[in-house]
Structure 1
């Protein structure tokens, strides 16, 4: 039982509730930037901390580097006092520090907490009494308690008494027009009851509905369940796609028919693999942690096997289709349509399109891509292609041996592609019916 310093707690709670608190957003990417805009919009002073000087420089002149976030919104935030910086000394000015940094997997598909831990350690020298730290990065149950708590307390702060610690998983869905930061309910778990109270105060003005839970572990597990639910169901439908393909059945027609049932069925759609910052990664955070308890999460891992095998299956379909035309993959000119991880965004994180490009290149194909949302292949930690997006014209399409539809952006001219591509491999079910130059994969 932690004896709460009621004066410190009351002072912070009052500042948060009266919008007098200074909010520090640590990590200004797809999660942190929308959250910063929300706090700035409702009247809080916000400091944004990031180690990437180019991001800070862009924000400082009111420029957005994320396609679906308008630069005008950045400029408005600046006019309201938003301050972007790479100087972590600014953390001492903040009453709340919200961590929105990556939690990828390492090459052994184990959790990589280096960004979270390095960020925490960079903040600790500048932390003080009366602050709340909220971790939003997806991670395994126990991370907040086992990793952040001891580091903060080693700095001389007593969590639950003089400082406060919560876990509140991000739920951003980049490019989804039906939801925004404020309308997505926010799960909040505190290390202590006092921490939970502070966490609710931190988010209650920014988010329409705050959902308190009993601990940081419950909040961490909630995030994993949400994304494992999706990963398992996508794995199921990807396996169904392979079976349906062998039987000559269009899986998309089957799914659309099943979706007419008004109860007991939720439509999930197959693709060339899993992408994004959550679904390809989060299940492995739980499977890794479960081993500590002597458990083998067979169901989750089976779905992972199916999903990670989809790019190879797509390439096999492409190879067979080229063979039917008397061509080999080696030396073939192949255009990959869409390299963002989902349609209508510029987000490249864990995009299966990149793996498809690498598989094709390893087989000797001459790979190009077209993506109206990603005009130049970006710098990525583990992948590199020195390519710019190919403009789609009748002439350019006719110059490729194969067009691989990997991400079905709405603003592709699908009629133009159908008319002028010699061979189309459709991994998204965009084309309906039968076409002489179409293979569904």
Structure 2
């Protein structure tokens, strides 16, 4: 079995690991800004759609800023509110507009629908059947077929004129005119901008992704590529073939499909250059507050070496213990000799009972594992035969943020 995992100290595998970390750095530098731009679409078009219902709302205020955040109002959700997301209820200097806020608050407290959102329109009801839109098919369209009655679903106008306005905005801002309608739930457009963002992602694999943190780089960079709204934030022309965003998407694909999880020095150098070029764009670097940090990480952290520690019988030599829930925890004393804050360490552990039996192997790749893993770090666990997660013939790679639950203090 040692023959399998001894490949990780090889230069090609180290390059692959560095490339994987670089992809995650890039994703974290792009995701919040992607949400912001799509949220701007949501707020501006929502304001336009309901303007006739809110004549007292001034031109500088959005309906999101006029509604207090409260999970009891049937608009906001508990926890981190997706409706407000970085937008807060605030007073206005214009008396008429400010007085209107009191009216809105009073209606919400009395349980009166203020008519600022629509959550009744399904995507199949507001998108016309058209075989050219990449979701409908010629003949009897499965997308517009009711799964229960097997009858065709007829399109209609949104009774509040809200969903129609947002649909048109998505259609008009899509660079190629073919939004991925089957990814999205139109009933969430008014409260969650990420369901708008999903219209610009590839048509498969993103229907159940509800936020930017759970979306991979391929989905996020596709939003940049397919939405015309992002051009204003770049000096580079995103309409050109193989533009800086296209190259970033290619890097993600190349890392995912690298044969044998190995990457050559030349390929890694080119790919890292492509990732850094995106964050180095003058306009984007200025507009995206996370661009500089991402660029610094790509320039500095990827240059650090990778240390490898192979430990047989880790349950004995690494002071394995169990917590109250009978979960095996690997406890490392003074891990700094082989893992410092800027390095990456690989620990190959056999017999990590009870998760892995005597014939199995666990590989944990930890970034900044001193003393363990904090909320901003990444852990990759490659497990062979780690039942019940995978079967005997498969290998799983799990990239996890906030790995703290797996390792206590």
Tell me the TM-score normalised to structure 2 length. Answer: 0.27
Q: Higher relative contact order by CA 8 Å / sep ≥ 6: 1 or 2?
A: 2
Q: Which structure: larger Rg?
A: 2
Tell me the TM-score normalised to structure 1 length. Answer: 0.26
